[in-house]
């Protein structure tokens, strides 16, 4: 396959839970990330007065998923299971970016994910054209990127 110079669009993606559960289409996915904590260390016998940077522990950022409410309460059931079953409620969440032909380009795999926050819709009698949205924030133990 030839190298591509144009970046992929951010609007064409899939979100899968445990390899297959589909909780409905998500309009927004944000916060995918990982960070390595850096410890500074200086040897007492260094000739130059500078510190060494030593990689330490890493953390995975919280990932937020938003979608219009559909006739399903699977996200809420997962939140409830997390409260009652603890770590047994963990899932693997895969976010896959697709190209224009709907072929996978790159995937972010969030392992050991549990919902840490659920936000229901803002309901208002005015307007009438807005979609009722719900949001779930996931906390994961590990993040892998598959290209």
Per-10-residue mean pLDDT of the chain, 147 residues long, equals 75 84 80 96 87 94 92 85 95 92 92 94 81 92 93
**pLDDT for 44:** 87
CA distance 53 to 42: 9
Question: How would you classify the pairing of strands 13-17 and 104-119?
Answer: unpaired
Token couple for 71:
């006739």
- Please give the model's pTM, rounded to 2 decimal places: 0.84
Residue 48 sits in a domain whose CATH number is 2.30.110.20
**pLDDT for 21:** 66
Query: For residue 92, what are the domain limits?
Result: 13-146
Asked whether residue 74 is domain-assigned, the answer is yes
Asked whether residue 28 is domain-assigned, the answer is yes
Asked whether residue 65 is domain-assigned, the answer is yes
**pLDDT for 24:** 64
Domain count across the chain: 1
**pLDDT for 1:** 47
**pLDDT for 6:** 84
Asked whether residue 4 is domain-assigned, the answer is no
Asked whether residue 7 is domain-assigned, the answer is no
**pLDDT for 2:** 52
Asked whether residue 119 is domain-assigned, the answer is yes
Residue 48 CB-density burial (10 A; 0-12 exposed, 13-18 middle, 19+ buried): exposed
């Amino acid at each position: 396959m030839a190298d591509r110079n144009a970046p992929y669009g951010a609007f064409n993606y899939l979100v899968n839970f445990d390899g297959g559960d589909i909780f409905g289409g998500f309009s927004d996915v944000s916060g995918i990330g990982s960070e390595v904590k850096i410890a500074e260390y200086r040897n007492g016998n260094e000739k130059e007065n500078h510190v060494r940077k030593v990689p330490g522990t890493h953390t995975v950022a919280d990932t937020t998923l938003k979608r219009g409410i559909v006739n399903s309460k699977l996200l809420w059931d997962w939140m409830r299971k997390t409260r009652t079953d603890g770590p047994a409620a963990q899932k693997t969440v895969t976010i896959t970016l697709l190209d224009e032909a709907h072929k996978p380009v790159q995937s972010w795999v969030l392992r050991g994910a549990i919902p840490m926050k659920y936000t229901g819709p803002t309901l208002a009698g005015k307007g009438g054209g807005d979609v009722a949205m719900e949001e779930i924030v996931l906390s994961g133990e590990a993040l892998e990127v598959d290209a």
